[in-house]
Amino acid sequence: MKQVLYIHWWTLAKNNDELYETMKNWEINPFEEKKRWRKTLEKELPEYQVIKPEMPNKEMACYKIWKLRFEKHFPYLTGEEIILVGHSLWAMFLLKYLSENKFPKKINQLHFVSAAIDDQWLPEWDNYLWDFECKKENIKTIQDQCDKIWIWHSKDDPVVPFSHSERLAKELPNANYMIFEDRQHFNQEHFPELIETIKNN
């Protein structure tokens, strides 16, 4: 059995007052159907067991709480191949966790999609990483825990500047660097390139 562990985005806020200010400017459309590739992973990877745990307090995430929840999934990672996929600030969580902790199993594939490496040039509403920011000097150690690493980023990303992946690629010189021109933040229904890479590696 091959297993894919993927967790989707969250909101960073230091306290309820800050969250309130964020929510005041948050536009919603209750009739909009959000088509995201995380929802199609099981269908497009039928031979894999896809694990998408719900993390607590996603509107005001806290690293130490997420770390506890993340580690509770370890006993269920029993597959012969383990694949971790991090998108956006969830990729930042993986950067911090794997640079500070030893994962219990060898990671066969590690995918960073639109990863923020620090708070440099992030949009005004998301211009800090609070307790999710890792020490950049520790990032290189992640390579010791993985067979293969991929960095995915689009040059027109409006959320995480493309320069973040350029700097991440320098910290992880063995990683495969996948550059796109027009995918923005990869908020799309399908991600065929990622699916094919998972299947073929």
- For the full predicted model, state whether its pTM sits above 0.85: yes
pLDDT digits (tens, 9 = 90+) for 136-175: 999 999 999 999 999 999 999 998 999 999 999 999 999 9
Sole residue written with tokens 């956006």: 88
pLDDT digits (tens, 9 = 90+) for 52-95: 988 777 777 888 989 999 999 999 999 999 999 999 888 999 99
Pairwise CA distance, residues 34 & 184, whole Å: 15
CATH code 3.40.50.1820 for 2-200: yes
134 near 96, Cβ under 8 Å?
Answer: yes
104 near 136, Cβ under 8 Å?
Answer: no
Tell me the domain boundaries of the chain.
2-200
